[in-house]
């Protein structure tokens, strides 16, 4: 199947061709016709499957084939004045895309710019952590498409700098993460501001029960597609566990980077403090590194990611929330410096590599206190991950495990402790918790 067979306009096909894409991904080939047909959609698709273009392309085509009259009043006949006039009177907000994080909002905005380069439509990307005034000015000039995090969008609503009464299509991207981050109340407030008659698209990495409940209240007779089976891992990713004492993890990581001459490595830590500390230690080891997490300013996060993509930084140390939505082409190495408390997050982490047909490597540095977390991950994957001890870094079988670092404030988690080292008898496991993260990444 080719993009031309999907019914896209010549301008969109030209933009797709400029990017060097000849054939759509599975999510694109299935989602684009559904969206173009005006149907509501519930799609299971993880980051890296091409889902962003899967909704960006048909959204742009909808705007192209369904023009509106300039200056027309909103669908309820109101004139909601902002600064003496209706915001974007000539260009009402027609498409609203909600994302859980700043990085994902920026990524979606880039996708709209990339594929809409030959079309006249304007986009406003609004999120917290930056000055609100330039966003207000952009909204005053009018935007066909608004990509936003929930918190900052509601800030604009409160200041009456945006009118959502003429939205024709709503997209909820990474719905599972939206719920995990506690955005459900904000989402409900936003839904109440939208016209009843609209098209709704909901994308999620998994079809959890919470997502199905959200879909039931949001979508009308939706088409359902599942191109990322729940908890699947990419076959092209080589996964490996290196058992190591907790106090030697940083030395082992530095050894792997230097001995393997790794030039681009994404490293996950459990906490913001841990990310900063590891970044500083790697710098002292002569390995150029940068950290991204929720306490970093947006400009610092953007700069760190750009330096990483362009090779000025070898190692990008990130927390789960900060890394959500990162789109890095041909990333060869992902390292779990700390295992995540929630097994599903392991799948999201390693999915940053092995994309678009490229091979990738996912390595986990696992200390004895994390054996319970590792077993939960293996239970989820329904496979045992291969272990490989590294010479000079083999763990002491008699070492007593140390407590794991606490995750970000507000996260629901368990601190499972097991006695003994790698060769001791595993302890019992309680119920696996769900994750929830601080909302500040969307504000």
- Kindly report, residue by residue over 358-413, the tens digit of the pLDDT: 678 999 999 999 999 999 889 888 889 999 999 889 887 766 655 555 444 334 33
Residue 234: per-residue pLDDT: 54
Residue 356: per-residue pLDDT: 53
Task: Check residues 421 and 175 and name the one with the higher pLDDT.
Answer: 175
What span, in angstroms and rounded, lies between the C-alpha atoms of 334 and 329? 13
The lowest-confidence range among 110-124, 215-229, 254-268, 301-315 is 215-229
Q: Which two tokens stand for residue 5?
A: 């067979």
Which tens digits make up the pLDDT trace of 112-139?
Answer: 999 999 999 999 999 998 899 999 999 9
Q: Following CA atoms 440, 433, 429, 420 in sequence, which dihedral angle do they give, to the nearest 10 degrees?
A: 0
Contact criterion met (CB below 8 Å) for 336 and 268? yes
Q: Please return the burial class of 114, using the count of CB atoms within 10 Å of its CB with bins 0-12, 13-18 and 19+.
A: middle
Q: Which CATH number fits domain 237-442: 3.20.20.80, 2.60.40.1180, 3.40.50.300, 2.60.40.420?
A: 3.40.50.300
Q: Cβ of 431: how many Cβ atoms within 10 Å?
A: 6
Closest-CA residue to 399 (of 426, 366, 368, 364): 368
* CATH 3.40.50.300 domain locations along the chain: 3-226, 237-442
Asked if the model's pLDDT at residue 239 lies above 90, the reply is yes
Which tens digits make up the pLDDT trace of 317-336?
Answer: 998 876 665 667 678 899 99
DSSP per-residue codes, 237-248:
EEEEEEE--GGG
Longest CA span, the chain: 75
**Are β-strands 145-148 and 95-98 bridged in parallel, bridged antiparallel, or unpaired?**
parallel
**Are β-strands 41-44 and 199-204 bridged in parallel, bridged antiparallel, or unpaired?**
parallel
Task: Check residues 366 and 433 and name the one with the higher pLDDT.
Answer: 366
CATH 3.40.50.300 fits 3-226, yes or no: yes
Q: Which two tokens stand for residue 49?
A: 């499957």
Mean pLDDT confidence for 292-316: 87
Q: Which two tokens stand for residue 188?
A: 């409900």
Mean pLDDT confidence for 290-317: 88
Residue carrying the six token digits 């599942």: 226
H/E stretch holding 332 reads none
Asked if the model's pLDDT at residue 88 lies above 60, the reply is no
Asked if the model's pLDDT at residue 426 lies above 60, the reply is no
**Are β-strands 237-243 and 223-226 bridged in parallel, bridged antiparallel, or unpaired?**
unpaired
**Per-residue exposure over 45-68, b if at least 16 CB sit within 10 Å of its own CB, e if not:** bbbbbbbbbbbbbbbbbbbbeeee
Residue 230: per-residue pLDDT: 46
User: In the chain, what percentage of residues exceed pLDDT 90?
Assistant: 51
DSSP per-residue codes, 151-215:
HHHHHHHHTT----TT--EEEE-SHHHHHHTT-HHHHHHHHTTS-SS-EEEEEESS--HHHHHHH
Asked if the model's pLDDT at residue 417 lies above 70, the reply is no
What span, in angstroms and rounded, lies between the C-alpha atoms of 52 and 46? 10
**pLDDT range class, residue 77, cuts 50, 70, 90:** very low
**pLDDT range class, residue 357, cuts 50, 70, 90:** low
User: In the chain, what percentage of residues exceed pLDDT 70?
Assistant: 79
């Amino acid at each position: 199947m080719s993009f031309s067979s999907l019914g896209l306009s010549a301008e969109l096909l030209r933009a797709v061709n400029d990017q060097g894409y000849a054939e759509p991904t599975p999510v694109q080939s299935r989602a684009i016709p559904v969206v173009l047909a005006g149907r509501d959609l519930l799609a299971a698709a993880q980051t890296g499957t091409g889902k962003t273009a899967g909704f960006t392309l048909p959204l742009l085509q909808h705007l192209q084939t369904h023009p509106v009259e300039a200056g027309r009043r909103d669908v309820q006949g109101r004139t909601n004045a902002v600064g003496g006039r209706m915001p974007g009177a000539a260009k009402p907000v027609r498409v609203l895309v909600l994302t859980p994080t700043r990085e994902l909002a920026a990524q979606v905005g880039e996708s709209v710019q990339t594929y809409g380069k030959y079309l006249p439509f304007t986009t406003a990307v609004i999120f917290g952590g930056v000055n609100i005034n330039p966003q207000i000015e952009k909204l005053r000039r009018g935007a066909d498409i608004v990509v936003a995090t929930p918190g900052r969008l509601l800030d604009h609503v409160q200041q009456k700098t945006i009118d959502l009464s003429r939205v024709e299509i709503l997209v909820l991207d990474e719905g599972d993460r939206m719920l995990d981050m506690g955005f459900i109340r904000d989402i409900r407030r936003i839904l109440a501001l939208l016209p009843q008659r609209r098209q709704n698209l909901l994308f999620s990495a998994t079809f959890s029960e919470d997502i199905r409940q959200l879909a039931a209240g949001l979508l009308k007779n939706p088409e359902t597609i599942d191109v990322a089976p729940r908890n699947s891992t990419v076959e092209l990713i080589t996964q490996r566990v290196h058992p190591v004492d907790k106090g030697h993890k940083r030395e082992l990581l530095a050894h792997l980077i230097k001995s393997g001459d790794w030039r681009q490595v994404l490293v996950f830590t459990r906490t913001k403090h841990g990310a900063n500390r590891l970044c500083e230690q790697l710098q002292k080891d002569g390995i150029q590194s940068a950290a991204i997490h929720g306490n970093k300013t947006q400009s610092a996060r953007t700069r760190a990611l750009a330096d990483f993509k362009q090779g000025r930084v070898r190692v990008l140390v990130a927390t789960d929330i900060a890394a959500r939505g990162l789109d890095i082409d041909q990333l060869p190495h992902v390292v779990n410096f700390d295992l995540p408390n929630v097994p599903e997050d392991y799948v999201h982490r390693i999915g940053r590599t092995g994309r678009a047909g490229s091979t990738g490597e996912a390595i986990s540095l696992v200390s004895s206190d994390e054996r319970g977390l590792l077993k939960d991950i293996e239970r989820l994957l329904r496979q045992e991950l291969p272990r490989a001890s590294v010479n000079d870094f083999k763990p002491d079988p008699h070492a007593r495990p140390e407590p794991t670092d606490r995750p970000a404030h507000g996260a629901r988690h368990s601190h499972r402790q097991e006695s003994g080292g790698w060769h001791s008898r595993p302890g019992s496991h309680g119920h696996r918790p769900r994750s929830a993260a601080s909302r500040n990444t969307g504000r």
